[in-house]
Amino acid sequence: MARKPGKKYQAAAAKVEKRPYTLEEAVPLVQKLKFTKFDETVEVHMRLGVDPKHADQMVRGTIVLPNGLGKSKKVLVIASGDKLREAEAAGADFFGGEEMVTKIQSEGWTDYDAVIATPDMMRSVGRLGKVLGPRGLMPNPKTGTVTQDVTTAVKEVKAGKVEFRVDKTGVIHAPVGKTGFATDKLFENANTLIQAVVRAKPAAAKGKYVQSVTLCSTMGPGVHLDVSVFNLKAV
């Protein structure tokens, strides 16, 4: 049985009009609707007109948000030799080779937000699919997390690099900052993410690409955006 929303949530939801909002209107509204004491994460949820079961309609990519995410991500680098020194110098929180693979396999260790690996280590890292895969942590060349350029990869993740990927229902979920951000910085982050998804439209996608966009904080109600402007850009 679904839990009934609390009084504070209901009061916040009552302030959202049943109409599509522009992003300029939605960002300050989401900030105003916050009713918890902690600094909530603000998320964008985009339903796309794609069928992810077909490889040519998969939508995924990465974007470095201009104003970060409000917290520094913990980064693990799996590499060897000089690349470990490079990882340390770039600010990686954890770094190592086979011993890291063994630790993750034996302990199910996941006390990090991103994993970067050099190509020579992927034979070993491939064994970690069951642990890293379900958490979205598996290194991948397409997202820049399998690379020889460890320095750039670590710095981008620390700066607020976000990976977006359509799930099996055709929806993208991505964080864009905190409710405590300055409104213009939160707007810039959200707009950057949405535009990146619009640019990633697959050639095989037919009909209306952006079906819906919702902006919300972790605990707050969703604010639905006017998608017409995004679909114009996606054509």
Q: How confident is the model at residue 135 (pLDDT cuts 50, 70, 90)?
A: confident
What is the Cα–Cα distance from 106 to 97, expressed in whole angstroms? Answer: 15
Highest mean pLDDT among 97-101, 134-138, 141-145, 201-205: 97-101
| pLDDT tens digit sequence for 66-81 | 999 887 789 999 999 9
End position of a domain, from candidates 158, 193, 210: 158
End position of a domain, from candidates 158, 186, 220: 158
Residues 92 and 153 reside in one and the same domain:
yes
| pLDDT tens digit sequence for 3-51 | 677 899 999 989 999 999 999 999 999 999 998 899 999 999 999 999 9
What pTM value is reported for the model?
Answer: 0.79
Beta strands in 55-160 (DSSP E): 60-64, 75-78, 94-96, 114-117
End position of a domain, from candidates 158, 189, 207: 158
Give whole-number Cα distances, 174 to 39, 60, 85, 102, 231, in Å: 17, 11, 32, 30, 19
What is the Cα–Cα distance from 29 to 12, expressed in whole angstroms? Answer: 10
Please state the rounded mean pLDDT for residues 96-105.
95
Give whole-number Cα distances, 59 to 29, 47, 134, in Å: 29, 11, 18
